[in-house]
């Protein structure tokens, strides 16, 4: 962080959070306390109204112009930032706190007070399944590869192979989907576009080889039929949900292609065209015996095998317990 940027950050921090100590400013700016003292001295030399009284403060909260936001707008931005995938261990996460401080510093005292009061009454807890989806350095190098159109060499631990393997990849796009960050790119080893989960990339290096993204490539089209992340041949899946689940299934949209048919007995026929059946099968299994797969036959057979295996497992467990 250059000094001018750091001085502005200090002002924003003091504007948003009076009573900060030098150690607090040093931690937030990622510098030593000695550097903070020099910065505070520089601000005083520039006649910036900073003083110490149980922590450092700005003499007037109107030192920076207020931002014309309502309390609801300010709270919405703070809540959105608190649950955003920017918190998931990527380079942007370290600037999020700074951005929120600037937001607080630019609000008028009345709006800031209103937002803080609402913040104590409303909260969101959308926890990520993978809170550390890939080291920051991995993300940064991949980001450089995407922006500079340069091939990367990655060591990737594929769950199918069970070990890490080296891949040369043309990085097309970085995307956060459902629970983690992913890289979409052309794998030279397998000669096709693949999706790589960032927390499975053990190492990455940027090469000097350039590439061009095919004109026909579209991220929206690539994930068009995906249930969540997986891609593959389009398959029409049809399942019957018990009447007790009807309101739950109708209450939210699960896939862009879904169609719902209500039956006279209160059950539902749910149909969607998805990329492969693995991810949708995980979703269906969560409903246990209250959903029956009707099509395709291979998915119906797979679900039957899983159900039979579970039944065998519990019968074996009961036998061991009784013995």
Residues 241, 208 share a domain: no
pLDDT in tens, 145-182: 998 999 999 999 887 777 888 999 999 998 887 777 88
Q: How far apart are CA 101 and CA 14, in angstroms?
A: 9
CATH of residue 188 = 2.30.30.520
Instruction: Indicate the residue among 57, 90, 119 that finishes a domain.
Output: 119
Q: Are residues 250 and 203 in the same domain?
A: no
Same domain? For 258 and 209 the reply is: no
Domain annotation covers residue 131: no
Q: Is residue 226, in this structure, part of any structural domain at all? A: no
Same domain, 282 and 247: yes
* Alpha-carbon distances of 147 from 17, 152, 181, rounded to whole Å: 36, 12, 17
- Within a domain: residue 124? no
- What is the pLDDT at residue 63? 55
**The total number of structural domains that make up the chain:** 3
- 203 and 275 inside one domain: no
Q: pLDDT digit string (tens) for 233-258?
A: 899 999 999 999 999 999 888 898 99
Do 240 and 198 reside in the same domain of the chain?
Answer: no
Give residue 129's pLDDT. Answer: 43
Q: Does 225 fall in a domain?
A: no
238 located within any domain: yes
HEC per residue, 209-252: EECCCCCCCCHHHHCCCCCCCCCCCEEEEEEEECHHHHHHHHCC
User: What pLDDT is stored for residue 207 in this prediction?
Assistant: 95
Average pLDDT per run of 10 along the chain, which is 323 residues long?
A: 79 81 90 90 83 82 59 72 58 67 72 69 50 65 90 90 87 83 92 91 94 91 86 91 92 90 94 91 91 94 90 73 56
Rounded mean pLDDT of the chain?
Answer: 82
- Specify the pLDDT at position 88: 52
The domain that contains 292 carries what CATH number?
3.30.70
Same domain, 240 and 210: no
Written as six digits, the tokens of 278 are 């693995």
Q: What are φ and ψ of residue 224, in 5° steps?
A: -55, -45
Same domain, 89 and 183: no
Is residue 107 one of the residues assigned to a domain? yes
Q: Look at residue 126 and tell me if it is in a domain.
A: no
Instruction: Label the pairing between strands 268-275 and 192-197.
Output: unpaired
Q: Are 61 and 111 in contact (CB under 8 A)?
A: no
Paired with 37 in beta bridges are none
11 shares its domain with 77 = yes
Last residue of a domain, one of 93, 119, 145: 119
Query: What is the pLDDT, as a whole number, of residue 131?
Result: 43
What pLDDT does 294 receive? 95
Q: Looking at the structure, do residues 10 and 86 belong to the same domain, yes or no?
A: yes
pLDDT at 133: 45
**190 and 283 housed in the same domain:** no
In a domain, 252, yes or no: yes
Residue 263, pLDDT score: 94
Domain hosting residue 301, numbered range = 234-316
Asked whether residue 17 falls in the same domain as residue 109, the answer is yes
């Amino acid at each position: 962080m250059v000094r001018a940027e750091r001085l502005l950050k200090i002002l924003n921090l003091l504007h948003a959070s009076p009573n900060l100590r030098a150690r607090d400013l040093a931690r937030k700016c990622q510098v030593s306390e000695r550097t903070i003292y020099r910065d505070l001295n520089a601000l005083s030399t520039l006649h910036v109204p900073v003083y110490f009284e149980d922590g450092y403060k700005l003499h007037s909260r109107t030192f920076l112009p207020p931002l014309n936001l309502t309390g609801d707008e300010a709270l919405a931005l703070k809540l959105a930032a608190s649950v955003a995938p920017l918190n998931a261990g990527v380079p942007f996460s370290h600037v999020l706190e700074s951005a929120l401080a600037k937001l607080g510093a630019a609000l008028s005292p009345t709006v800031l007070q209103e937002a803080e009061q609402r913040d104590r009454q409303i909260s969101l807890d959308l926890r990520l399944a993978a809170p550390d989806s890939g080291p920051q350095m991995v993300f940064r190098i991949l980001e450089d590869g995407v922006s500079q159109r340069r091939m990367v060499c990655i060591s990737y631990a594929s769950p199918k192979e069970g070990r890490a393997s080296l891949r040369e990849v043309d990085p097309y796009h970085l995307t956060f989907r459902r629970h983690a960050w992913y890289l979409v790119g052309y794998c030279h080893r397998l000669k096709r576009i693949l999706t790589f989960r960032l927390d499975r990339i053990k190492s990455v290096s940027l090469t000097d080889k350039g590439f061009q993204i095919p004109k026909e490539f579209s991220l929206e089209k690539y994930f068009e039929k995906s249930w969540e992340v997986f891609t593959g041949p389009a398959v029409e899946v049809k399942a019957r949900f018990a009447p007790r689940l009807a309101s739950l299934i109708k209450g939210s949209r699960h896939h862009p292609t879904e169609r719902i048919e209500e039956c006279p007995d209160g059950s539902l026929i749910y149909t969607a065209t998805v990329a492969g059946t693995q991810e949708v099968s995980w979703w269906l299994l969560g409903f246990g015996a209250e959903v029956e797969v009707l099509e395709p036959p291979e998915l119906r057979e797979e679900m039957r095998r899983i159900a039979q295996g579970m039944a065998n497992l519990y019968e074996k467990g009961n036998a061991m317990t009784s013995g």
